[in-house]
Amino acid sequence: MKIAFLADPLDSFKIYKDSTFAMMREAARRGYAVYAFEQGDLALEGGRVVANVTPITLTGDPDIWYGADAPQALDLGQFDAVILRKDPPFDMEYIYTTYLLELAEQQGARVFNKPSAVRDHNEKLSIARFPQFIAPTLVTRNEARLRAFHAEHKDVIFKPLDGMGGVGIFRVTEEGMNLGSIIETLSANGRCTIMAQRFIPEIAKGDKRILLIGGEVVPFCLARIPQNGEVRGNLAAGGIGVAQPVSARDREIGETLGPILAKRGLLLVGLDSIGDYLTEVNITSPTCFQEISEQTGFDVAAMFIDALERATP
């Protein structure tokens, strides 16, 4: 197989925890050819979607982890699989990328996750498709509605719809300290739609990442536990990751969403849950492969490449 990864710059990878690196490593272990490119390498030229892709080899050296040959301008249809692993923000450039990749699909490329599905599933707002699993939630840019939601629920999380890694998340407790300022800042004075959710106290036990691969639930999740008074469990915000078996409730959520999302073209999904509630559906570049594998011995990257093989006969 020839596999091309559309990702962030390779030099930015923290390979001790990067899930894209884990995928590359497993693909290389199986003898597959690995290529990498960035958003800026994509082009529509002569009616075809092409990219300047770089063939890479994994060195096994943690300091200089890859070797690169000269970039090649190739039609994306020449690859057995194109893996979309670009991190958010999900801005207009990201949307343009999905348009180009969707054109590439029409020309014979196999892209995972499916570009139109990535575009259609906002990672925060997609939970509204599964209301039976979510805590009380409001999505709006209207200040009066946001204030009324806080008045009703007393303890509320406010967050942007386009963030990652816990950036821009605020908790406002019953006394309402800085409520107005937080609403004004996140909503850009009513110009940007944001999300409010009733605070879930079980965050103290972790914000759990449940992985779905090919519609199936990975048997272990990673509970990202807040530290030092933080309300955010995200690893990027200083949370500690503790792998643990998937609970009965989280398996119920995963087994309900898995087949639906897989049918929509989402080969890899990272569900976030707190307590018994679904809080996010991550589909751009879900992580936690390495943390789960190192703590449990379950090879998540192997399960992913197995699913990729099944999807690219």
Mean pLDDT rounded to a whole number for the chain: 95
| Catalytically annotated residue among 25, 86, 124, 198 | 124
Q: State the Cα–Cα distance between residues 212 and 234, nearest whole angstrom.
A: 19
Contacts 24+ apart (CB under 8 A), 57-63: 57/28, 58/24, 58/25, 58/28, 58/34, 62/15, 62/16
Q: State the Cα–Cα distance between residues 208 and 191, nearest whole angstrom.
A: 31
Asked if the peptide bond before residue 62 counts as cis, ω within 30 degrees of 0, the response is no
Residue 233's pLDDT band, with cuts at 50, 70 and 90, is low
Q: Which of 8-17, 32-41, 63-72, 157-166 has the least mean pLDDT?
A: 157-166
Residue 76's pLDDT band, with cuts at 50, 70 and 90, is very high
Residue 54's pLDDT band, with cuts at 50, 70 and 90, is very high
159 belongs to the catalytic site: yes
Residue 237's pLDDT band, with cuts at 50, 70 and 90, is low
Between vectors from CA 135 to CA 241 and to CA 251, what angle results, nearest 5°? 55
113 belongs to the catalytic site: no
282 belongs to the catalytic site: yes
114 belongs to the catalytic site: no
User: How do residues 254-306 score in pLDDT, each as one tens digit?
Assistant: 999 999 999 999 999 999 999 999 999 999 999 999 999 999 999 999 999 99
| Catalytically annotated residue among 18, 105, 272, 291 | 272
User: How do residues 105-116 score in pLDDT, each as one tens digit?
Assistant: 999 999 999 999
pLDDT of residue 151: 98
pLDDT of residue 73: 96
Q: Residue 162 pLDDT > 90, yes or no? A: no
| Catalytically annotated residue among 85, 114, 159, 208 | 159
Over residues 32-36, mean pLDDT: 98
Return the percentage of the chain with pLDDT > 70, whole number.
97
Instruction: Residue 48: name the closest of 2, 105, 98 by CA.
Output: 105
Q: Residue 16 pLDDT > 80, yes or no? A: yes
pLDDT of residue 74: 97
Q: Residue 312 pLDDT > 80, yes or no? A: yes
209 belongs to the catalytic site: yes
Q: Residue 163 pLDDT > 80, yes or no? A: no
191 belongs to the catalytic site: no
Return the percentage of the chain with pLDDT > 90, whole number.
91
pLDDT of residue 229: 66
| Catalytically annotated residue among 114, 198, 208, 224 | 224
pLDDT of residue 164: 73
- Asked if 230 and 239 count as a contact pair (C-beta separation under 8 A), the reply is yes
pTM (2 d.p.):
0.94
Q: What is the set of domains in the chain, with CATH numbers?
A: 2-113 (3.40.50.20), 125-129+202-311 (3.30.470.20), 136-199 (3.30.1490.20)
pLDDT of residue 9: 97
Parallel/antiparallel/unpaired status of strands 207-213 and 111-112:
unpaired
Over residues 216-229, mean pLDDT: 90
| Catalytically annotated residue among 18, 123, 280, 291 | 280
pLDDT of residue 127: 97
| Catalytically annotated residue among 86, 232, 250, 291 | 232
